[in-house]
Structure 1
Amino acid sequence: MGAEVRSTCPYCGVGCGVLLSADGSGGLAVRGDPAHPTNRGRLCSKGSALGETVGLEERLLAPQVHGSTATWKDALNLVATRFRKTIETHGSDSVAFYVSGQMLTEDYYVANKLMKGFIGSANIDTNSRLCMASTVAGHRRAFGTDTVPGVYDDLEEADLIVLVGSNLAWCHPILYQRIMAAREKRALRLVVIDPRRTASCEGADLHLALEPGSDVALFNALLAEVARRGAVDRDYVSAHVEGFDAALKAAQGSDPAFTGLSRETLRDFCDLWIGTEKVVTIFSQGVNQSSSGSDKVNAILNCHLATGRIGKPGMGPFSVTGQPNAMGGREVGGLANMLACHLDIENVDHRDAVRGFWNAPAMPEAPGLKAVEMFRAVADGRIKALWLIHSNPAVTLPDADTVQDAIASCPFVVVSDITAATDTARQANVLLPATAWAEKSGTVTNSDRTISRQRAALAPPGAARPDWAILAEVAQRMGFAEGFNWDNEAEIFAEYAALSGLARTFGKDFDISNRAKLSSSDYDSMPPFRWPDGPAKSGGRFFEDGGFYHPDGKARMLALAPRAPAAALTPEHPFRLNTGRLRDQWHTMTRTALSPRLSAHLPEPFVDMHPDDAARLGLAPADLLRLESPQGSAILRLRITRDVQPGHLFAPMHWTGETAPSARIDALIASVTDPVSGQPESKAAAVSAARFEAAWYGFAIATARPRPECAYWALARTDRGFRAELAGTEEIADAEDFARALFGLPDAALQMSKDMAKGRTRLAFMDGEILLAALYLDHKPVRLMRDFLAGLPGTETPWALAGTARGDMPDPGPVVCSCYAVGRNTILRAIGAEGLQSVEAIGASLSAGTNCGSCKAELAALLQQGVSRAAE
Structure 2
Amino acid sequence: MVAREPGIDGAGGGGPAPPATRTTCPYCGVGCGVLARREPDGRVTVQGDPNHPANRGRLCSKGSALAETLSLADRLLHPQVGGRRVGWDDALDLVASRFKQAIREHGPDSVAFYVSGQLLTEDYYVANKVMKGFIGSANIDTNSRLCMASAVAAHRRAFGSDTVPGVYADLEEAELVVLVGSNFAWCHPVLFQRLLAARASRGVRLVVIDPRRTATAEQADLHLPIAADSDAALFNGLLRHLDRVGKRDVPYTDAHVTGWPEAVAAAAPATLEAVAAATGCSAQDIARFYAEFAGADRVVTVFSQGVNQSVSGTDKATAILNCHLFTGRIGKPGASPFSITGQPNAMGGREVGGLATMLAAHMDLEDAAARERVQRFWGSPAIATRPGLKAVELFSAVREGRVKALWIMATNPADSLPDADEVQAALRTCPFVVVSDVTARTDTARFAHVLLPAAAWGEKNGAVTNSERRISRQRAFLPLPGEARPDWWALAAAARRMGFAGFDYEGPAAIFREHAALSAFENDGARAFDIGAHDAIGAAAYDALAPFQWPQRRGEPARDTRFFSEGEFSTPDGRARMTPVAVLAAVAQRADFPLTLNTGRIRDQWHTMTRTAKSPRLMAHYGEPFCEIHPADAARLGVAPDGIVRVTTEQGSVLLRALITDRTARGSVFAPMHWNDQFAGAGRVNALVSPATDPVSGQPGFKRTTCRAEPFPAAWFGFAVSATRPAPSSVEYWALAPATGGYRIELAGHAPPADWRAFAERLFGVEGEDLDWVAYHDRLADSIRLAAFAGERLVGALFAAPQPVALARGLLVEALAQTHAGSCRARLLAGLAAAGAPDRGTIVCACREVGAKQIHAAIRTGAANLDAIGERLGAGANCGSCRPEIQRLIQAARVAAPETRTA
TM-score (norm 2): 0.95
Q: Name the SS for the 1:495 alignment partner.
A: helix
Q: What residue number does 1:437 align with? A: 457
- Given the alignment, which residue of 179, 182, 200 partners 1:184? 200
1:27/1:55 contact within 8 Å kept: no
Say which of 770, 773, 787 aligns to 1:764.
787
Q: Is 1:821 aligned to 2:849, yes or no?
A: yes
Deviations along 1:177-198, whole A, 9 cap, x unmatched? 1101111111210000000001
For 1:215-254, what aligned pairs fall within 5 Å after superposition? 215-254=231-270
Question: In structure 2, how many angstroms separate the alpha carbons of the residues matched to 1:513 and 1:802?
Answer: 68
Which one of the candidate residues 522, 546, 556 is aligned to 1:527? Answer: 546
Letter of the 1:646 counterpart: R
Residue type matched to 2:809 in 1?
R
Q: Do 2:594 and 2:667's aligned partners in 1 also have CA atoms closer than 8 Å?
A: yes
Which consecutive residues of structure 1, in runs of 5 or more, have no partner in the other structure?
none
The equivalent position to 1:627 in structure 2, one of 629, 647, 668, is 647
Q: Is the 8 A contact 2:638 2:710 kept in 1?
A: no
Q: Determine if contact 1:504/1:510 at 8 Å carries over to the other structure.
A: no
State yes or no: 1:844 paired with 2:871.
yes
Matched, 1:858 2:880: no
Sequence identity percentage:
56
1:459 pairs with 2:479? yes
In structure 2, distance between residues paired with 1:803 and 1:78: 55
The alpha carbon displacement at 1:731 in A equals 3.0
Task: Report the Cα offset of residue 467 of structure 1.
Answer: 0.5
Over 3 Å counting, the alpha-carbon distance change for 1:858 and 1:374 in structure 2 is: same
Counterpart of 1:252 in 2: which secondary structure?
coil
Structure 1 residues 688 and 536, CA gap change in structure 2 (3 angstroms): farther
1:605 maps to which of 619, 625, 638: 625
The aligned residue for residue 731 of structure 1 is: 752
Higher deviation after alignment, 801-810 or 108-117: 801-810
> What is the rounded CA distance, in whole Å, between the counterparts of 2:364 and 2:219 in structure 1?
43
Instruction: Give the counterpart of 1:390 among 410, 423, 426.
Output: 410
Aligned to 1:48: 64
Which is worse superposed, 789-798 or 670-679?
A: 789-798
Equivalent position to 1:494, from 503, 506, 513: 513
What SS is found at the alignment partner of 2:635?
helix
Counterparts of residues 109-128 of structure 1 (less than 5 Å): 109-128=125-144
Residue identity matched to 1:4: A
Separation in structure 1 between the aligned mates of residue 607 and residue 282 of structure 2, nearest angstrom? 35
1:536-547 alignment to 2 at 5 Å?
Answer: 539-547=560-568
Shift, 1:248, TM fit: 0.2
Aligned to 2:341: 321
Q: Does 1:559 align with 2:580?
A: yes
Per-residue deviation, residues 663-698 of structure 1 (Å, max 9, x unmatched): 100011010000000000001111100001123211
Partner secondary structure for residue 216 of structure 2: helix
Higher deviation after alignment, 16-25 or 94-103: 16-25
* Contact 1:213/1:564 (8 A) holds in 2: no
Q: How many angstroms does 1:719 deviate by? A: 1.6
Deviation track 1:594-615 (CA, whole Å, cap 9, x = no partner) reads: 1111111111111001111111
State how far apart, in whole Å, the 2-side matches of 1:503 and 1:768 are.
74
Measured in 2, the distance between the counterparts of 1:641 and 1:329 equals: 38
The answer to whether structure 1 residue 172 and structure 2 residue 188 are counterparts is yes
Matches within 5 A, 1:734-745: 734-745=755-766
SS of aligned partner of 1:771: strand
SS of the aligned residue for 2:838 comes to coil
Aligned-partner Cα distance in 2 for 1:365–1:346: 7
1:556-583 deviation per Cα after TM superposition (whole angstroms, max 9, x unaligned): 00111111476x4211111111111111
Q: Residue 536 of structure 2 corresponds to which residue in structure 1?
A: 517
Distance 2:34 2:890 in 1: 32
Mean alpha-carbon deviation: is it higher for 605-614 or for 135-144? Answer: 605-614
- Which residue of the partner structure matches residue 360 of structure 2? 340
Give the Cα–Cα distance (whole angstroms) in 2 for the partners of residues 422 and 484 of structure 1.
Answer: 30
Q: Secondary structure at the match of 1:419?
A: coil
* Contact 2:125 2:354 (8 Å CA) reproduced: yes
1:809 and 1:438 map into 2 onto residues whose CA distance is: 36
Range with greater deviation from structure 2 (581-590 or 742-751): 742-751
Give structure 2 stretches of 5+ with no counterpart: 1-16
Q: Alignment length, in residue pairs?
A: 869
User: Which amino acid is 2:46 matched to?
Assistant: V
Aligned to 1:779: 802
Aligned equivalent of 1:132: 148
Give the Cα–Cα distance (whole angstroms) in 2 for the partners of residues 604 and 788 of structure 1.
17
Check the 8 A contact 2:531/2:554 in 1, yes or no. no
Shift of 1:771: 1.2
Distance in 1 separating the partners of 2:212 and 2:346: 25
Whether the 8 Å CA contact 1:396–1:666 is kept in 2: the answer is: yes
Distance between the aligned counterparts of 1:741 and 1:681, measured in 2?
A: 41
In structure 2, the residue matched to 1:194 is 210
Q: 2:614 aligns with which of 594, 603, 610?
A: 594
Instruction: Quote the offset at 1:807 in angstroms.
Output: 6.2
* Post-superposition offset of 1:801: 1.7
Q: Name the aligned partner's letter for residue 260 of structure 1.
A: G
* Cα RMSD (Å): 1.2
AA paired with 2:849? A
| Bigger mean CA offset, 290-299 vs 497-506 | 497-506
Three-state SS of the structure 1 residue aligned to 2:170 is helix
* Whole-Å separation in 2 of the counterparts to 1:606 and 1:138: 33
Distance 1:794 1:39 in 2: 35
Q: 1:804 aligns with which of 824, 832, 836?
A: 832
Residues 609-639 of structure 1, C-alpha deviation per residue, up to 9 Å, x if partnerless?
1111111122221000000000000100001
Contact kept? 1:503, 1:511, Cα under 8 Å: no
Match of 1:598, SS state, is coil
The Cα shift of 1:757 comes to 2.8
SS of the aligned residue for 1:248 comes to: helix
* Structure 2: distance between partners of 1:402 and 1:638: 26
- Larger deviation, residues 499-508 vs 429-438: 499-508
The one of 389, 396, 414 aligned to 2:434 = 414
CA distance in 2, matches of 1:152, 1:207: 22
Q: Give the deviation of 1:867 after TM superposition.
A: 2.8
CA separation in 1, counterparts of 2:223 and 2:71?
42
Query: CA separation in 1, counterparts of 2:294 and 2:393?
Result: 41
| SS of residue matched to 1:504 | coil
154-163 vs 696-705, which deviates more? 696-705
Q: Report the equivalent of 2:702.
A: 682
Question: Which AA in structure 2 matches 1:210?
Answer: I
Q: Is the 8 A contact 1:342 1:503 kept in 2?
A: no
Give the whole-Å Cα distance in 2 for the aligned partners of 1:695 and 1:80: 54
| Contact kept? 1:372, 1:678, Cα under 8 Å | yes
Query: 2:554 & 2:45 partners in 1: Cα distance?
Result: 40
**Secondary structure in 1 aligned to 2:569?**
coil
- Give the structure-1-normalised TM-score: 0.98
In the alignment, the residues of structure 1 paired with residue 413 and residue 43 of structure 2 have an alpha-carbon distance, to the nearest angstrom, of 30
* AA aligned opposite 2:845: C
Aligned position for 1:789: 812
What is the Cα deviation at residue 503 of structure 1? 5.8
Report the Cα offset of residue 535 of structure 1.
4.3
Matched residue type, 1:261: C
